[in-house]
């Protein structure tokens, strides 16, 4: 039984040895190199593109422009907002949008050719903030969009919020902001493509190979079976590789030239041209009674999705759904709005809006406790969602609600740290808490997964899955689930993953969905495989009503006989049959009402609570996160060490969001200017696994990828606020903001830029 064992992740040894080959690491004979010509400003009308100077450079083979795209220009993973143009067809909507593509025999020639292409622009007035975009006379970023510059408005309405606020014993009101954040995956976007048997083959980093295939087919104007996408080993994504990046350029060049091509972004190009985490503006008004029970939340949230929708719809909706945090709140009035601007687009990033709203809902809890003179940790325990409660969308939580258990796990650590707090002339210390809940999978929408499991004639078993492992360990988790269900050691399982020719759609690696949703698909595939083996054994023995069980990888009959499944497989193969089980799983949901947001958006939720201890240097304003304790309800830990690794990685990413990460167009476009946590910034982390099984999950499992990050920044913000004696409501909590707080006059309560 491999379930629950901390097995080494599949592929780990090759990575440690440096043997792993990523999308760009597999040169082919005759490779052409590609380079993009990118517009410096937006919006702008393209008056002319002259490729002639580039064609005089030795080695340049061809220059492509939008007129060379044989299919659709506008692509995107969410069907209702397919609006991303990879080759600007006459109009530049965002800075660094590609306007031409150069193919050359060498990388140097391709880059020289890109610099030589002459493009004449007519710069146009644009909008660069939510407020500008919503102005009555604002220029339209996407004129085809029916809502003008308003991408989407989502509402969550429950009860009578105004009356509840009027009757509340205490009302707290504050505005919170978060900035745009770059993904900074270790591997920049890269891949290769070639022409084979009348089809385009693309092998690149991605979080969703089957979605890539569908969009590339639209881009080329061909049937999907004329495009094959293979997920290359992917060195991290965090949501940034959900959107297409290099794939359309690779496919276009290979389609036209019938030659192998390759493209890898530089770090600067990756930062400039790819999506970011949405920065959000959040105004929260919370009410509570004298005992500290939360009675109401009124929230207004706004964000800038940039020039293309990407995952803006999903971020906006999820932010609204999770605005209450993991707390009972009977009266809710949330309106979240997302606008188009001419900034570089913002898309999916670990948490889909939940890390942003968590800053607000956790600070509101602290503020309520301060107003009532109550302990903020006790207030969280008192209001925590429990089995039998309803969420802000009216969903009844029937099982798998582990928040109280998470709080119980960290409470002794939190109390000890509070007792150990010190303030000196040199430093100030603080402790903060963050809690969260997170819906697994897409919000109020179908997001199925499929899988196949085949018993081979040699006795080995192959798992086929379209689920993209991007370092989070889904390969290992799914193989452990299959091995456990079959009663086999994992060494008997082979894996075929992320190839549109060989695997079926498992949906995107996003929203912490693969262990739960694809794990269930694997369970279904194994059940189907078992049925075929049992029936095959009866057929082979010519005993139609024989009782047969599959236990420990062996078929056992009621009369004590044992049969190797491979023997049954070989028997069935004589008649042309193969023993392959197929499984499919789509979580149970109901769509949200567009006016009230009521519905059942997720079949399962993950829960977590973290506490952080910080030290603030009074001379330099440097903040050091010294310790974090993180308790996460994962339902069932398929691979405990992998879960702990996810938690630790999420915490470190949360340190970056809390203290240093802030993308500013034109200024933070390399890793010298854009700061991310290093090993020296990592705190001492205590990862604590809580298992409150989810009945609909495989062996009770849920997910931990996004949840690992979400509570960290709120906990750190709370700790810094305690250390400084004033609320820190804006992320990142930079040196400048801390220094301002340290030097602020008595009575000033909000520190901004």
Task: For 274-288, write each residue's pLDDT tens digit.
Answer: 999 999 999 999 999
**What are the structure tokens assigned to 564, written together?**
């190797």
Average pLDDT, the chain: 96
Task: For 119-160, write each residue's pLDDT tens digit.
Answer: 999 999 999 999 999 999 999 999 999 999 999 999 999 999
The arithmetic mean of pLDDT across residues 398-421, rounded, is 98
Q: Is 327 left (phi over 0), alpha (psi -120 to 50) or beta?
A: beta
Task: For 673-723, write each residue's pLDDT tens digit.
Answer: 999 999 999 999 999 999 999 999 999 999 999 999 999 999 999 999 999
The whole model's pTM is what? Answer: 0.97
What angle, 0 to 180 degrees and rounded to 10, lies between the N-to-C axes of helices 519-541 and 474-486?
Answer: 30
Please say whether the beta carbons of 509 and 517 come within 8 A: no
**CA–CA distance, 340 with 549 (Å, rounded to integer):** 58
Beta-bridge mates of residue 454: 462, 580
Omega within 30 of 0 (cis) for the link into 433: no
Percentage of the residues of the chain whose pLDDT score is greater than 70: 99
516: DSSP letter? I
Asked if the model's pLDDT at residue 522 lies above 90, the reply is yes
Task: For 302-316, write each residue's pLDDT tens digit.
Answer: 999 999 999 999 999
Task: For 350-359, write each residue's pLDDT tens digit.
Answer: 999 999 999 9
Please say whether the beta carbons of 61 and 67 come within 8 A: no
Q: Is the dihedral of CA 727, 730, 735, 739 positive or negative?
A: negative
Residue 290 has a pLDDT of: 98
Residue 745 has a pLDDT of: 61
Please say whether the beta carbons of 276 and 180 come within 8 A: yes
Cα dihedral 320, 346, 669, 179 in deg (nearest 10): -20
Residue 26 has a pLDDT of: 87
Asked if the model's pLDDT at residue 223 lies above 60, the reply is yes
**CA–CA distance, 78 with 449 (Å, rounded to integer):** 17
Residue 722 has a pLDDT of: 98
Asked if the model's pLDDT at residue 528 lies above 50, the reply is yes
Pairing of strands 346-347, 276-277: parallel
Domains of the chain: 12-124+189-264 (3.90.1170.50), 276-391+400-443+593-743 (3.30.365.10), 449-585 (3.30.365.10)
C-beta atoms surrounding 147 within 10 Å: 11
Sheet containing 562-563: give its strands across: 548-551, 554-557, 562-563
Residues 6+ apart with CB under 8 A from 89: 66, 67, 69, 73
């Amino acid at each position: 039984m491999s379930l629950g064992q901390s097995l080494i992740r599949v592929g780990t040894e090759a990575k440690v040895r440096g043997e792993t080959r990523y999308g760009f690491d597999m040169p082919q004979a005759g490779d052409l190199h590609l380079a993009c010509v990118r517009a410096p400003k937006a919006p702008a009308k393209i008056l002319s593109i002259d490729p002639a100077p580039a064609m005089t450079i030795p080695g340049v083979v061809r220059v492509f422009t939008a007129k060379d795209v044989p299919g659709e220009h506008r692509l995107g993973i969410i069907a209702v907002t397919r609006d991303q143009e990879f080759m600007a067809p006459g109009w530049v909507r965002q800075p660094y949008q590609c306007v031409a593509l150069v193919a050359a025999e060498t990388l140097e020639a391709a880059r020289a050719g890109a610099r030589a292409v002459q493009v004449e622009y007519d710069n146009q007035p644009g909008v660069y903030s939510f407020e500008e975009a919503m102005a009555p006379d604002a220029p339209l970023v996407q004129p085809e969009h029916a809502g003008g510059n308003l991408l989407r408005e989502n509402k969550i309405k429950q009860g009578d919020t105004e009356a509840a606020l009027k009757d509340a014993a205490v009302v707290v009101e504050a505005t919170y902001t978060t900035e745009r954040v770059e993904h900074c995956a270790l591997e920049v976007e890269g891949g290769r493509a070639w022409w084979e048997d009348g089809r385009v083959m693309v092998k690149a980093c991605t979080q969703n190979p089957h979605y890539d295939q569908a969009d590339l087919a639209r881009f080329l104007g061909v049937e999907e079976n004329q495009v094959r996408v293979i997920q290359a080993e992917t060195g991290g994504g965090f949501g940034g590789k959900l959107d297409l990046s290099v794939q359309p350029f690779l496919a276009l060049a290979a389609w036209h030239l019938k030659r192998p091509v390759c493209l890898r972004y530089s770090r600067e190009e990756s930062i400039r041209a790819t999506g970011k985490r949405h920065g959000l503006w959040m105004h929260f008004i919370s009410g509570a009674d004298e005992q500290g029970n939360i009675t109401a939340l009124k929230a207004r949230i706004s964000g800038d999705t940039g020039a293309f929708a990407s995952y803006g719809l999903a971020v906006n909706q999820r932010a609204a759904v999770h605005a209450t945090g993991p707390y009972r709140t009977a009266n809710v009035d949330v309106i979240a709005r997302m606008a188009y601007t001419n900034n570089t687009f913002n898309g999916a990033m670990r948490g889909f809006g939940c890390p942003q709203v968590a800053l607000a809902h956790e600070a509101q809890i602290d503020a309520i406790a301060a107003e009532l003179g109550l302990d903020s940790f006790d207030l969280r325990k008192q209001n925590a969602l429990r089995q039998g409660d309803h969420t802000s969308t009216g969903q009844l939580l029937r099982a798998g609600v582990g928040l109280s258990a998470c709080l119980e796990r960290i409470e002794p650590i939190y109390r000890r740290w509070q007792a150990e707090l010190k303030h000196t002339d040199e430093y100030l210390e603080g402790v903060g808490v963050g809690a969260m809940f997170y819906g697994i999978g897409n919000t109020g929408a179908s997001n199925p997964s499929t899988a196949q499991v085949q018993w081979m004639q040699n006795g080995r078993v192959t798992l086929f899955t379209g689920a993209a492992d991007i370092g989070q360990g889904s390969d290992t988790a799914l193989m452990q689930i299959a091995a456990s269900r079959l009663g086999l050691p994992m060494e008997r399982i082979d894996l075929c993953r992320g190839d549109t020719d060989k695997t079926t759609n498992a949906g995107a690696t996003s929203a912490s969905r693969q262990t739960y949703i694809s794990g269930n698909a694997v369970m279904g595939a194994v059940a189907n495989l078992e049925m075929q083996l049992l029936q095959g054994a009866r057929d082979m023995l010519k005993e139609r009503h024989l009782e047969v069980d599959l236990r420990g990888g062996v078929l056992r009959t009621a009369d004590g006989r044992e049969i190797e499944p491979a023997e049954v497989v070989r028997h069935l193969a004589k008649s042309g049959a193969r023993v392959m089980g197929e499984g499919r799983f789509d979580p149970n949901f109901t769509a949200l009402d567009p006016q009230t947001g009521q519905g059942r958006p997720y079949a399962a939720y993950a829960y977590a609570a973290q506490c952080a201890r910080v030290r603030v240097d009074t001379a330099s304003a440097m903040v050091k996160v010294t310790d974090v304790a993180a308790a996460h309800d994962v339902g069932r830990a398929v691979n405990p060490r992998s879960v702990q690794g996810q938690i630790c990685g999420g915490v470190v990413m949360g340190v970056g969001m809390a203290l240093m990460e802030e993308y500013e167009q034109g200024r933070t476009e390399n890793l010298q200017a854009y700061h991310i946590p290093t090993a020296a910034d990592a705190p001492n982390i205590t990862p604590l696994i809580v298992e409150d099984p989810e009945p609909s999950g495989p062996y009770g499992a849920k997910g931990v990828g996004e949840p690992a990050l979400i509570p960290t920044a709120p906990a750190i913000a709370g700790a810094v606020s305690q250390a400084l004696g004033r609320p820190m409501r804006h992320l990142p909590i930079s040196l400048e903001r801390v220094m301002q707080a340290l030097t602020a006059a008595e009575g000033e309560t909000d520190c901004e830029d």
